[in-house]
Amino acid sequence: MNLFLAESPLQIISCYELASQLFKGHENVLIVKYSGEKRKETHDYQIRKTVESLDWNNVIEISFKHSLQQLSWLKKRKHFFDITRKFKHKVDNLCIGEFRSAWMHDIKKRISPKALYLSDDGAAIITVKNNFLDKGIYHFSKSKKESNDNHYARPILFTSFLDNSEEEGIIHNDYRKLRSKNHIKETDNKTVLYFGSKYSEGGIMTLESELALIKKADDYYTEKGKTIIYIPHRGDSEKKLSLIKNTLNIKTNALGLPAELYILTLQKMPWGIAGAYTSALISLKGIADFDSVCSFRIPSACVNPKHKDTINAVYDEYLKSGIEIID
């Protein structure tokens, strides 16, 4: 039996690829955690649509959120008790979708799997590898003492961001399962999908810098006779989206699905895809063929210094994968 833990749409998709590529025909169980918070309704909606779109045989849905805040801890303990009772010493391979999610490590401790995998949640996996795994930190907990416990094994990485490496325990995810569902389509030669993310909302750069970068992309494609459509991230602010539509005069399209699943529903494929350093460029490049895949580099002077190393590492991986970087 293999158990997969996820709490975001991309984690679910990455777990699905791992199950399909390595454990086809096995008993694969997905435990998906919803936020349950009102401010994250869009996030939870996309999780639900992602689960519905993929052919998981066994899905367990949980949430630690209770309408009475003081009872949330009790609800969490009840979930942990049920999961432990059902899976302890019965799991061959456990896959966690986010290394820095303490509840996933709690379950790891309780059920004692034979092997541990860590799947993609976007570019975050590069940060995790550099800041944790390569420093010998294989466990994450809210307790610093427990996080420093070194008796845990290093997880095997399943990621689209890094190349295969037997020495480092890395398996490259080429999205072959979703690609097999993407049938040959016509191309809309005028359209480029520009995938956004919560760069200003996450403190990576200012809103003004982010809008300037989007305008730069729009100008770049206008010169090529193409039209960009801005694809919002679920964390994009209403203020930013309003400025993109009304000040930059760029059309937006909220997909309602993760990009990796939305692309499978199109009758015509866009001529190209673009973004800053969104994980969608890596995953979509694996799922479908585009005439152009471009990343617009965030000017170094605009980047919050604490994010520079991670962002530069992502651009390095883009170059290795054949994505064009526009400075």
Nearest to 95 by CA among 163, 177, 1: 1
Q: What is the DSSP string of 293-322?
A: EEEEPPPGGGS-GGGHHHHHHHHHHHHHHT
- Within 10 angstroms of residue 138's Cβ, the number of other Cβ atoms is 19
Q: What is the 3-state secondary structure (H, E, C) of 190-258?
A: EEEEEECCCCCCCCCCCHHHHHHHHHHHHHHHHHCCCEEEEECCCCCCHHHHHHHHHCCCCEECCCCCC
CA distance 176 to 82: 34
Q: What is the DSSP string of 109-132?
A: HHH--SEEEEE-BTBHHHHHHHHT
Q: What is the pLDDT of residue 277?
A: 86
Query: What six digits make up the tokens of 38?
Result: 């009102």
Query: What six digits make up the tokens of 185?
Result: 């389509």
The H or E element that residue 63 is part of is: strand 58-63
Domains of the chain: 2-173 (3.40.50), 180-326 (3.40.50.11110)
Q: What is the pLDDT of residue 256?
A: 84
Q: 3 in helix, strand or coil? A: strand
DSSP 36: -
Phi, psi (5° rounding) for residue 145? -60, -45
Q: 136 in helix, strand or coil? A: coil
Query: What six digits make up the tokens of 301?
Result: 């002077």
Kindly tell me the burial class for residue 20, based on how many C-beta atoms sit within 10 Å of its own C-beta (0-12, 13-18, 19 or more).
middle
Cα three-residue angle 57-60-66, rounded to 5 degrees: 160
End-to-end CA distance of the chain: 47
- Spans of the chain below 70 pLDDT: 144-150
- What pTM was computed for the model? 0.91
Residues β-bridged to residue 95 = 4, 117
Query: What six digits make up the tokens of 141?
Result: 């907990």
214-239: b (≥16 Cβ within 10 Å) or e: beebbebbeeeebbbebbbbbebeee
Contact 172, 156 (CB under 8 A): no
CA distance 293 to 194: 10
